[in-house]
Every structure is written in C-alpha cells, then in structure tokens.
A and B are shown apart, each in its own frame.
Chain A
Amino acid sequence: MVKTKWLIYTVAIGLLPFLLRLLIFLIGKNTDMEFLMNEADFIVFGLVLNLTNLNELEHKKASIWKTKMIGIAALQVAFYAGILVVSYITEFPNQNIINPTLLFYCSLVLSIISFLFSYSIYDRINKTNTENE
C-alpha cells in the first residue's frame, strides 16, 4: 500500500512536468527533440523523490539505516539544487561554459538512480513493519 501511494502521489506528480511536455510534444506539429530534452524536468523529479524520502524517513524509529538514507538523500538534494542553478545559467544568451546536452543526460541518469534509491526505501518500509513507530 505504501509503495502504491508512493507511485501515485510521488512518482506520477514528480514526473508531471515531463509528462505534460511529452503530451505537448506528441500533439504539437513543429516540435523537435530539443523541446523534449529539458534537464529541469528531471532535476525537479529527483528533488521531489528525495524530499519525499526525507519526509518519510523522518517519522521512522532511529537506526543506522535511517541515518544513512537521510544522509544520501540530503547529499542528492544538495547536488540537484546545484545542477538546477547550472541549468538556469544555460538559459543565458551566448553562454558557452556549460553544455546543455551533457547537463540533460547527467540529470536524466541521476533521476533514474534516485528512482531506484527511492524505490529501495519504500520497498523496505512496505515490507517491514518493525521500524514503524
């Protein structure tokens, strides 16, 4: 049940910007792949997943596992915030410091990894009731 709620409320809502962009891409006639490749959508998805992880773990009993997971989630939130700033810098005209395509692929890979991480946390919460308060 916890995992189903996570899929509906967190994953689906987190992916909403990308899904809407995909919908517009499919409906629109003059859209190209660059329109679909927006790093900010995946950065937001990663941020949503990790902030939900932090919120969910907050209510669990103290353990080494919980501390580790909170640490990793906080590390990811910090990194996502950093690359979000970098992605905004790419919108400056005539900037040639950052490669937007590279940033997109990095954020895509990281968001997939964050999905795996979030899945592992909710899988554990779902299967074990011993850590619940």
Chain B
Amino acid sequence: MNNFDILIIGVTILIGLIVIYFSISTIIETRKLAIDQYEENSKIRKRKFDEKH
C-alpha cells in the first residue's frame, strides 16, 4: 500500500463520515418535523370536532 492509496482511503473515510452525519441528522430532523405536523393536524381536527359538538 503506497501513499496514494492511503490518501484515497483517508479522503473516502473523511467524506463518507461527513455525508453519513448530515444524512442521519436530516433523517432525524424529518421524523421530528413529521411528528410535529401530525400533532398540529390532530389538534386542528380535535378543535373542529369540539366546535361541531
């Protein structure tokens, strides 16, 4: 294994870890946003139901 191979492995690991970090943080953030949106919609539905009855 020469220096060039080590450089390619190093950069691949570095970029890979950065991309994995941002991907997972985006997925978690999306889940939170979806839950918030669902709760908000539930509240609106409940309010409309209470107004009718």
User: Which residues of A does B touch, CB under 8 Å?
Assistant: 65, 68-69, 72, 75-76, 79, 83, 86, 97-99, 102-103, 106, 109-110, 113-114, 116-117, 119-121, 123-124, 127-128
Contacts and interface: CB of A to CB of B under 8 A. Distances in A.
Given A123-B30, A127-B30, A127-B34, A117 B23 contact: yes
A128 B26 CA distance: 12
19 contacts: A68-B22, A69-B22, A79-B11, A83-B8, A97-B4, A98-B8, A102-B1, A102-B9, A103-B8, A109-B16, A110-B12, A110-B15, A120-B26, A121-B26, A124-B29, A127-B30, A128-B30, A128-B33, A128-B34
B12 A106 contact: yes
Contact of A123 (B8, B15, B19, B27): B27
A103 B9 CA distance: 9
Interface of B: 1-2, 4-5, 8-9, 11-12, 15-16, 18-20, 22-24, 26-27, 29-30, 33-34, 37
Contacts of B33: 124, 127-128
Chain A binding surface, main DSSP class: helix
B12 A99 contact: no
A98 B4 contact: yes
Contacts of B19: 72, 76, 113-114, 116-117
Given A97-B2, A99-B5, A72 B18 contact: yes
Nearest to B20: A113
A40 to B, nearest CB: 15
Contact of B9 (A72, A79, A106, A123): A106
